[in-house]
Structure 1
Amino acid sequence: MAELDFPVSYLYSKDHEWVHTTEDNAVYRVGITDFAQSQLGDVVYVDLPAVGDAITMGESCGEVESTKSVSDLIAPLSGTITHVNDALEGRPETVNSSPYEDGWMYLVEASDPEQVTGLMDEEQYHKLVQSEEA
C-alpha cells in the first residue's frame, strides 16, 4: 500500500477516478487512480467517451480493459467531454505507468462545478483504499 501514489492536489471519487482542475476552472482532467490501475493489472485497451459526449456523474462513460478484467469508467462529474487522450489508443499501458500524468483519460467541462465538493481529498481517499484492502 505504501507504494501507491495519492497526489494531494487531486480530488477522488469512490469509484477510483481522480479529478484535477485545469487552467479553466470549469474544465477538469479525469483519469483512474494508482490504486485502480494496480487492481486492474496490465491495461490493454481503453474505450473513452467521444468529444462532445454528455456524461452524467455516477454513470458509465467508458471502459478500461486489462489482462484481468473489464472495468467501467464511472463519471465523477456531469458535463461535456472537451478532449480525450488519444495517445491511450496506441499505448493503453500508459495508464499503468503514469496514471496521474500521461495516462489521463479525458477533459470534461462540468455542467455543475459544485459537484466537485462531493469528491474526496487525498486523505479521505487514502482511508477508502485502506478500508477496501482490509
Structure 2
Amino acid sequence: MLVTMNVMFLQAPKLFNNMKFYFVDDFVQAFKSDLLNLVKTTGGTISETKDQLLSSDHGGVELDQATYVVYNADLSICVDVEDEASIKAQRLAAMEGVAQECGSRVVGHTWILGSIVVCSLLPLTSRV
C-alpha cells in the first residue's frame, strides 16, 4: 500500500508547480529545513534572498500569482496570551510590507502545511 501511494505521489502533478517561496521571519532551523524540503518536493522553488526573488524570471506567470512570502505563524512559548493578537498583527504587517515590495502574497507556514495535507491549495484569505 505504501509503495502504491509513493508511486501515485510521484506521478501526480506537483502542488506548488510554478510557485516561488521566500521564507522570512524566525523559524527554528531544523523546522525551516523541513518546510523547504516539503516545498521543493511538491514542486515549489525557493528564493534565498529578497534580491533573488526580485530579479528572478517567473516563467511567464504573473508575479503576484507565483510568489509567496512565508512567515512563521506560530508564536513563541514565551508570549503572553494577551499579546498574541498584537504580535500576530505586527508580524503580518511586516510581512505584507515585504510582499508588497516584491509583488508577492503573504502566507503563514501553516498554509503550506494545510495545502499539502488536503492536496490542494487552500484559499489565501486565511492568514493561518
Fold in common (TM above 0.5): no
Q: Which has the higher strand share?
A: 1
TM-score by length of structure 2 reads: 0.29
Tell me which structure has the larger Cα radius of gyration: 2
Structure with the largest fraction of helix = 2
